[in-house]
Amino acid sequence: MKHYLSQIKEALDYLGKEKRLYLVFLLSLGLGYSGMAITISLIPQVLIDASVSGNYEHMKEKLFLYAGLFFMSFLTSILSQYIYRRCVLRFQAGLRRSVMEKKTRLPVSYFENSHSGEFLSQMIYDINKAEELYRSKYKEAFNPIVALITSVIPMFLLDHTLTMLLLFISLLCVLANAAFSERVKTAGRLTAGASAKLSERSTDILSGILTIKEYQLNEVLSGKFRTANKEYAGNALNREKIGAFLEAMNSGFTVLCSIVFLVAGSVMVQSGKTTYGTLVALMNLESSIIWSALSAGKRFPELFDNIASLERIQSFLTMEEEVIHVPDRLEENQNQSFIEFKNVDFSYKNNREVLNHFNMQINQNEVAVITGRSGCGKSTIFKLLLGFYNADKGYIAIDGKSLEEYGANELRQMIAYIPQRPYLFYGTIEKNIRFGNPQASFEQIVQAAKAACAHDFIMELPGGYDYVVGDKGSKLSFGQRQRIAIARAFLKDAPIILFDEATSGLDYESERFVLQAAEQLIQNKTALIISHRESGVRLCNRKIEISSVR
């Protein structure tokens, strides 16, 4: 029980500065609702007792009092609802922003090691569940408790014996439901996991559709999808089973309560201990109490299902962020080149060593080509220089300052990186080039495109610079995508250029264009070019053979 309470409290703490406002209006919302329910329950008592006894003396005053209380409760609930929702919306926006910003601060290794489908599905599912927690789950779980407590007071005033009996049954009902909370939580977690796997399989089918068709993998992937689907259905069914059982159990409690009330009520009226009006009022309040107990009992386990999602988001938000770290220091007064790798060891997590005592010195405005067999670690050198990964040992520096001293933003500001497969965002060509420098004018964008030998083909596309490149640039050829990426790099105007396999997979004509663009780009810059082809090597005044330095 203590564990559950601390979970509820921790989830509320998570609201931060919104917490107090949220709690105040959660409470006043509950009071507003139950105020309305209680006054509605008590009005019939006044009317029935007055007409049975024929004494109308105090009827008007009481009716005015109840009508006034009803109106106040109504206003309270409307006002609270508005402030409560505003508070939740503010928190929701903050949560989405934190998750989004966190994603961009995570190390590259996180994304390379997780499946994008699973990540997205889990995140969307959990964010929705966490939002639902504050939007409705706390309200649904706590409003009945407020209603229960506030209904008990007039009930006690009307008849305390009957009230004690009903409270006892209600307590049993809540305890029985609470006993299932852990199972509901586990079933929710398993269903969420299975749903993530399902989405992973769907993403595979969507993103790999060309390969699937080419290798006729329909059956294999459909089989995997069916297995994931079955697992999801099994878990969802289990969750439904628990839900159905709880529903049946709660219906049983409702019937039990009604029987107890009817028997006890009849005895009391017959023995003259109460009036017909009081009995009707008690009956109304009793149904409000039972509804409250059942709702609280049912909503509490659901609350923990949502808290589980919030906990996953919390652990995501506290994940270790990207930190640029250089393991070794250089001895004082040692000569350094513009780009310096000294005795660098590196391996990807749980993999064999990629770089071993790797050394590289590049002078300012030097253009060096890096060659070596596939998989020897060429692209890895770029990833280390960009701080995407940290070396296990050794020293990496630019212009006499270790990468650690720069930090991620300053470091990446100095580098224009054209990866092996450049990524284009869904949107226009202009927007894609502009990422290089968001402040650039349209003329500067055109200039960059001209320098990257991209202007002519852009002008031939429908809409020119407004042409939408499709998902990941799929409506452009590889050579065209490369040149857009080069234009982007031009616009960035960084002192260091990293060019990974600029011309691999291009035909002669495209290669010529890309090389021409690259030649322009690297003028008066320090450039590292990964290339297998002689044409790429030609651009450079130095060749670094990776296999020989390993």
Ligand X SMILES: Nc1ncnc2c1ncn2[C@@H]1O[C@H](COP(=O)(O)OP(=O)(O)OP(=O)(O)O)[C@@H](O)[C@H]1O
- DSSP letter assigned to residue 133: I
Of residues 308 and 386, the one with the C-beta less far from ligand X: 386
Least distance (Å) from ligand X to the CB of residue 390?
13
Residue type, 18: E
Please identify, using beta-carbon distances, which residue of 114 and 227 lies nearer to ligand X: 114
DSSP code at position 465: G
The interface partner of residue 333, options being ligand X, Mg ion, none and the CB cut-off 5 to 8 Å by kind, is none
- Minimum distance, C-beta of residue 350 to ligand X, in the bound complex (Å): 8
Among the listed residues 112, 321, 353, 471, the single contact to ligand X using CB under 6 A: 112
Angle between helices 160-178 and 276-317 (to 10 degrees): 30
User: What amino acid occupies position 55?
Assistant: N
Nearer to ligand X (CB atom), residue 54 or residue 375: 375
Q: Which is nearer to Mg ion, 44 or 419 (CB)?
A: 419
Q: Where on the phi/psi map is residue 355: left (φ > 0), alpha (ψ -120 to 50), or beta?
A: beta
**d(C-alpha 51, C-alpha 455), whole Å:** 92
CB atoms within 10 A of CB 17: 10
Closest C-alpha among 31, 29, 148 to residue 88:
29
Q: Is 531 in the site for ligand X (CB under 6 A)?
A: no
Q: Which of residues 455-514 bind ligand X (CB under 6 A)?
A: none
Cα–Cα distance for residue pair 15/274, rounded to 1 Å: 48
Cα–Cα distance between 266 and 279 in angstroms, integer? 9
Q: Map residues 412-451 to x or -, x wherever contact with ligand X holds by CB under 6 A.
A: --------x-------------------------------
Q: List the one residue from 275, 314, 343, 379 that touches Mg ion (CB under 5 A).
A: 379
Residue 377 touches which member of Mg ion, ligand X, none, C-beta under 5-8 Å by kind: ligand X
- Residue ranges in 346-365 that form contacts with ligand X under rule CB under 6 A: 348, 351, 354
Measured N-to-C along each axis, helices 2-13 and 276-317 cross at an angle, to the nearest 10 degrees, of 70
Give yes or no for residue 378 binding ligand X (CB under 6 A).
Answer: yes
| Total of chain residues touching Mg ion, rule CB under 5 A | 1
In the complex with Mg ion, which residue's Cβ is closer, 378 or 488? 378
Q: Which residue is nearest to Mg ion (CB)?
A: 379
Can you say whether residue 114 is alpha, beta or left, with left for phi > 0 and alpha for psi between -120 and 50 degrees? beta
Q: Lay out the site mask for Mg ion across 400-419 (x = CB under 5 A, - = otherwise).
A: --------------------
Three-state secondary structure of 220-255: HHHHHHHHHHHHHHHHHHHHHHHHHHHHHHHHHHHH
In whole angstroms, the minimum distance from the beta carbon of 382 to ligand X comes to 8
Judged by CB, which is closer to ligand X: 84, or 388?
Answer: 388
Stretch that binds ligand X, among 230-238, 356-364, 372-380, 410-418 (CB under 6 A): 372-380
Q: How far is the CB of 355 from ligand X (least distance, A)?
A: 9
The stretch among 6-14, 183-191, 377-385, 463-471 that binds ligand X (CB under 6 A) is 377-385
CB of 530 to ligand X, least distance (A): 7
Do 42 and 281 contact (CB within 8 A), yes or no? yes
Residue 387 in contact with ligand X, rule: CB under 6 A = no
Nearest CB to ligand X, comparing residues 288 and 380: 380
> Strand pairing partners for 344?
358
Cα separation, 285 vs 304, in Å, equals 29
Q: What letter represents residue 313's amino acid?
A: I
Residues near 16 by beta carbon (within 8 Å), at least 6 away in sequence: none
- Distance separating alpha carbons of residues 392 and 394, to the nearest angstrom: 7
Nearer to Mg ion, 452 or 546 (CB): 546
Residue 245 or 423: the one with the smaller Cβ distance to ligand X is: 423
Amino acid at 151: S
Binding segment (CB under 5 A) for Mg ion, from list 79-87, 320-328, 362-370, 375-383: 375-383
Contact (CB, 8 A) for 316 and 98: no
Element counts in the chain: helices (H) and strands (E): 21, 9
Quick one: what does residue 416 bind among Mg ion, ligand X, none, with the CB cut-off 5 to 8 Å set by partner type? none
Q: Classify 371 as helix, strand or coil.
A: strand
Q: Does 380 bind ligand X (CB under 6 A)?
A: yes
Stretch of residues binding ligand X (CB under 6 A), selected from 28-36, 63-71, 378-386, 401-409? 378-386
Report whether 387 contacts 408 (CB < 8 A).
yes
Contact flag: residue 334 with ligand X (CB under 6 A): no
144 versus 372: smaller Cβ distance to Mg ion: 372
What the block records as the tokens of 179 is: 């006993």
Are 503 and 533 spatial neighbours (Cβ–Cβ below 8 Å)? yes
Question: Is residue 548 a contact residue for ligand X (CB under 6 A)?
Answer: no
Q: Which is nearer to Mg ion, 202 or 379 (CB)?
A: 379
Binding site for Mg ion (CB under 5 A): 379
Binding site for ligand X (CB under 6 A): 112, 348, 351, 354, 372, 374-380, 420
